[in-house]
Structure 1
Amino acid sequence: MSNLNELAATLRLPAEPLRTPMFIDGKDYAGNTGEFVTRKSPGHGVPVTATPRACVDDLNAAVASARRAFDDGRWSRLSGEQRATVLLKTARLIRDKVETLAYLETLESGKPIGQSRGEINAAAGIWEYAAGLARVVHGDSHDTLGADLFGLTVRQPIGVVGIVTPWNFPFFILSERLPFVLAAGCTAVVKPAELTSTTTLKLAALLTEAGLPDGVVNVVTGLGAVVGQALAEHMDVDMMSFTGSTPVGRSVLAAAGGNMKKVGLELGGKNPQIVFADADLDDAADAIAFGICFNAGQCCVSGSRLVVHRSVEEELVARVKAVFEKVRVGDPLDASNHVGAIVEARQFDKIRGFIDAGRRDGAQLVHGGESTSHGERFFIQPTLFRNVQPQSALAQEEIFGPVLSVTSFDTFEEAIQLANGVPYGLAASIWTRDLQGAISSFREVQAGRIWVNCTITGGPEMPIGGVKQSGIGRETGRYGVEEYTELKSVHVQLGKRPRWIA
């Protein structure tokens, strides 16, 4: 660890891949295959980490550990205060390790080091928030059932939760799920994306240091098609939480049918930035550029569609282009850069394919389009297309890269139709100075999360999730704990029950 801390402090690349074992039943776990997934940094093209390639037997061991830990009550039967104490200590340990965790996050994901630091610190805040919720989970009472009957609703932890997280925000997205799972009293098996597993493994060790009982959180690494699928199908898992693409979400939903386990899904998005004629165009332009460049556009709530009133389209596009021209793309370990690397070659090629399709479909390339993959270092300049047809691939499909499409409208009704005219409904931003127009817009726009005169902001107090093909269920906020509980109705007879047969 001292060598890792030194590397993190100096932001030097490791001389050889940093190996981290899996974590099952409170201890390091090597796995049965002896094979590793070696990760090359997408911003540097060199091997930086290695994590075990698990098999189904490893996954079964993790689920068995979580099952024992839940059934014997070592966590679920603790008081809310006791659970909160562990979550708060975890938050403190995360803050103590922010430089190391951010360094590992940047190596594996390719995101800028400043962004990684911000995400780790924000994640610690989520753990602190969830700790408070551990003490307020409650049911209800019903004293209106008559003189001889009293009713209770009891909220109890759902059981063993399988959590599959994506590669774009490995630590932050896990922190939007796991502390709420734990606050509810559940146990968990976590399967991080094979490209970005190391910070999840480090978090598991911090949880043990914070006092979490053995077996409550287990981490299995490897390929989603093997261990992720087995986790979704497992008969001893009571709920699945999956964050990722819509196609894979469908397969998780189908796999969960074996034991009818509950499923929470946060999936893809094709999110509109709706700009009305009265908007503050300077503010909107900066936010729009941020919304599509953040994490190199590899963000499920990225504002990838600019839907703008025709009267201000030309002016706004010029302002967005001016912001794009100031965006620095490059080495993610250089804190002066705004945008880092694309996560891997497949994603790089996919984004490039959409840019080529935009050119072929007749959209006007206003800015960007350039890319480089020299030395397995994957970078794409922020790209802006104008005159994008609403039914084209640029406007309909999730690109997951720094590519912004622009479509104009003339009326409020047309703006709403364009905003809702995709299969997704994850997020949206609305830009207007008119309060009535803003309220009318967020009432009509089909999305689980909406920002007015801002974008990609907020804290854990508010719920997140999607509608349509963007998902099922809600995370964070008080709803984030309720998501991982079951309600039980209890009827208590007071006095003698009326006899059926006298």
Structure 2
Amino acid sequence: MNSITTVGKPTSSNNFFTGTFYLTIAGKLVEAKNTFDVINPSTGKVFAKAPAASAEQLDDAIAAAKAAFKDWSALSYDARQVYLNSYADALQENRDDLVRLLTLEQGKPLETMAAPEVDQAISYIRQIANRRVPVEIVEENDSHIVELHHVPLGVVGGITPWNFPVLLALWKIAPALITGNTFVLKPTPFTPLTALRFGEIAQSVLPAGVLSVVTGLDELGPQLTNHPDIAKISFTGSTETGKHVLRAAAGTVKRVTLELGGNDAAIVLPDADYKTIIPQLFWGALGHQGQWCVGIKRLYVHRSFHADFVKAFVDYAKTVKVGDGLDPEVGVGPVQNKMQFDKLKTFLDDIKANGQKIVLGGEIDENQSGYFFPITVVDNPPEDSKIVQEEQFGPIVPIIAYDDVDDAVNRANDSIWGLGGSVWGRDTKAAVEVANRIEAGMVWVNEIHTQGVDIPFGGVKQSGIGTEQGHEGRLLFTNPKTVLIHK
């Protein structure tokens, strides 16, 4: 590993969160020859520089992870639990700085979105540390025993997106580590800084090479997915990029978990007490700037109360302030990056060009700094419109009238995606029956975005392959190994 140039480890929280950002390789903080700009989406201006790792440095990180795997995988679950709890403790000590840094680079409101994300990530590590994948006795008789072991894969590569850069990274890292794997994380270049900082923190508590964080531009992704010493890729991002990951992984028959795009539908049933659920539906669709993987992208409302629903939804939306996430009064922050901001403009242009009815928002203040997109509500656009058929991933929501529940289910399922969905109605049994007909990996009934360490999460169709969370997700960081023992 001849390219590593190291510096001393920070000795205080202040040093962690000011000054230079470093790669973390082989237990050391590593400088990069080149850097790239990190933009605060609330200002549209550069506020930090992130290290751009070279191809050789990524190779070094993978080599260090491979070297660390032998000893790490040999530890007991209880021993790895101690390490993970120490990591959670170290992150907790730096919690406030991580929260602020997350808002600066991602844009999300500090108290209502950034703080819960960091807190949930820390809690998640502690919960995962308690989980085990035990040996199963498949068969036992007088002559032999058949045991099913679940053994670690080796070096896992993680590629994470910009909407939840802390939580989605640690969703991958923690179960990989507790099951005995080592990990190399490549976060998106749009939000690299919190990942670099929690990578730095890890070096003070985890053995060298167990977790490395390597940032750079898009060319690092293919190098990671093609690398022969990477046993598995865990990727969260767009469907199109996921297809590239899948093709690259095929060359060495890597294991893959892909959590990809979605166009999640919410169906409000005819018996729903719709006025009481509007806040949940609003935040499920437009909270977090509409940048939820499983956000409500299409809202189907029964025609009998559609007009009243739209008015009440708009009235509620008008009470929510859009602005800088550091402002405690702000409920919705900026779109995270210019690429996504410009993509959202194409939706707005299409809506206007086709004469669809905008009942809130729709006008961008071009003189305002930052990537602020107005909360926009589109009233009953046609089913074949861009805003209904494609994933907007931003603060625009169509509210679509329907007459027949069967038709609403058919329209909800008429998509290349199937990540999440939700059904809302007074009659829970009837709502569950509708939910069971939704083609998605996760469907909520009369709630939204409830998730947890033991709740499996994954998509169907072009929304992904494999599962995260739950026992099922943890198993995907292991290989089944059958051991047959003659008595």
How many pairs are equivalent? Answer: 477
Cα shift at 1:55: 2.3
Measured after TM superposition, the shift of residue 170 of structure 1 is 0.3
| C-alpha spacing 1:278/1:162, structure 2 compared with 1 (3 Å) | same
Q: Do the aligned residues in 2 keep the contact of 1:373 with 1:379 (CA within 8 Å)?
A: no
Distance 1:172 1:140, change over 3 A: same
Aligned equivalents of 2:424, 2:480: Cα separation in 1: 40
Structure 2 equivalent of residue 416 of structure 1: 409
The alignment's TM-score, normalised by the length of structure 1, stands at: 0.92
Structure 1 residues 358-373: aligned runs within 5 Å = 358-373=351-366
TM-score scaled by length of structure 2: 0.94
Aligned sequence identity (%): 35
State the 1:2 CA deviation.
9.6
Q: Which amino acid aligns with 2:126?
A: E
Residues 28-43 of structure 1 mapped to structure 2, 5 A cutoff = 28-31=29-32, 34-43=33-42
Q: 1:391 aligns with which of 373, 384, 388?
A: 384
Change (3 A) 1:174 1:298: same
* Cα distance in structure 2, aligned partners of 1:190 and 1:376: 32
Gaps of 5+ in 1: 9-13, 495-502
What does residue 88 of structure 2 align with? 91
* Mapping of residues 429-468 of structure 1, within 5 Å: 429-468=422-461
Counterpart of 1:195 in structure 2 is 190
Give 2:108's aligned amino acid: K
1:106 and 1:387 map into 2 onto residues whose CA distance is: 34
Residues 161-181 of structure 1: per-residue CA shift (max 9 Å, x gap):
000000111001112111001
Alignment of 1:198-237 (within 5 A): 198-209=193-204, 211-224=205-218, 226-237=219-230
Matched residue, 1:163? 158
Aligned to 1:143, the other structure's residue is in SS state strand
Report the Cα offset of residue 282 of structure 1: 2.1
> Cα deviations across residues 224-251 of structure 1 (Å, max 9, x unaligned)?
2x11110001111000000000000000
Equivalent residue number for residue 500 of structure 1 = none
Partners of 2:431 and 2:89 in 1: CA distance: 39
- Name the structure 1 match of 2:76: 79
Task: Please tell me whether residue 104 in structure 1 is matched to residue 101 in structure 2.
Answer: yes
Alpha carbons 1:240, 1:261 under 8 Å: kept:
yes
Superposed CA offset, 1:355-407 (max 9, x none): 11112223211111122354641101111101211222111111110010122
Change (3 A) 1:486 1:132: same
- Which one is further off, 437-446 or 257-266? 437-446
Unaligned segments of structure 2, at least 5 residues: 1-9
Cα offset, 1:92, TM superposition? 2.1
Counterpart-to-counterpart distance in 1, 2:479 and 2:100: 38
Q: Secondary structure at 2:150's aligned position in 1?
A: strand
SS for the counterpart of 1:242 is strand
Q: What is the Cα-based RMSD across aligned positions, in Å?
A: 1.8
Q: Distance in 2 between matches of 1:360 and 1:3?
A: 55
- Distance, in Å, in 2 between the alignment partners of 1:124 and 1:219 is 18
Partner of residue 5, structure 2: none
* Contact 1:330–1:340 (8 Å) recurs in 2: yes
**Are the structure 2 counterparts of residues 223 and 98 from structure 1 closer, same or farther at C-alpha, using a change threshold of 3 Å?**
same
1:140 aligns with 2:136: yes
Matched, 1:180 2:181: no
Q: Give the secondary structure class of the aligned counterpart of 2:334.
A: coil
Shift of 1:479: 2.3
Structure 2 CA distance for aligned equivalents of residues 86 and 433 of structure 1 = 46
Asked if 1:27 is matched to 2:28, the reply is: yes
Separation of aligned partners in 2, 1:97 and 1:42: 23
Could you say which residue in structure 1 is the equivalent of 2:126? 128
